[in-house]
Amino acid sequence: MSGKFTRGMEVLNPRTGRTLKLAKPLQFLAQERTLVEEAWAGDILGLWDAGNLRIGDSLAEGPGIEFEGIPRFSPEFFNRVVMLDPAKRKQLKKGLDQLSEEGAVQVFHDPDRMERDPVLGAVGVLQFEVIQHRLRSEYGAEISYARLPFTLARWVEGEDFDPRRFDDPPSVACLVDLEGRPLVLFQSRWHLERAERENPKLRFIAAVQPGRAKATA
Catalogue all structural domains in the chain, each as residue range(s) with its CATH number: 1-69 (3.40.50.300), 72-208 (3.30.70.3280)
> Do residues 140 and 91 lie in contact, with contact meaning Cβ atoms separated by under 8 Å?
yes
Q: How far apart are CA 38 and CA 34, in angstroms?
A: 12
Q: How far apart are CA 32 and CA 19, in angstroms?
A: 29
- pLDDT value at residue 51: 66
Q: How far apart are CA 71 and CA 100, in angstroms?
A: 13
For the chain, residues with pLDDT lower than 50 are 1, 212-217
- pLDDT value at residue 208: 85
- pLDDT value at residue 217: 27
Enumerate the H helices of 66-116 as residue ranges: 89-102
- pLDDT value at residue 215: 30
Q: How far apart are CA 140 and CA 87, in angstroms?
A: 11
Q: Are strands 72-73 and 172-177 parallel, antiparallel or unpaired?
A: unpaired
CB atoms within 10 A of CB 201: 8
Q: How far apart are CA 162 and CA 91, in angstroms?
A: 33
Q: Which of 53, 31, 56 is nearest to 97 (CA)?
A: 53
Phi-psi region of 55 (alpha: psi -120 to 50; beta: other; left: phi over 0): beta
- pLDDT value at residue 108: 95
- pLDDT value at residue 18: 82
Q: Which of 51, 113, 53, 123 is nearest to 81 (CA)?
A: 113
Q: How far apart are CA 54 and CA 114, in angstroms?
A: 22
- The string of DSSP letters for 184-210 reads EEESSHHHHHHHHHH-TTSEEESEEPP
DSSP 5: E
Q: How far apart are CA 28 and CA 30, in angstroms?
A: 6
- pLDDT value at residue 61: 78
Residue 170 preceded by cis peptide, ω within 30: yes
Residues belonging to the chain: 217
Give helix then strand counts, H and E, for the chain.
3, 16
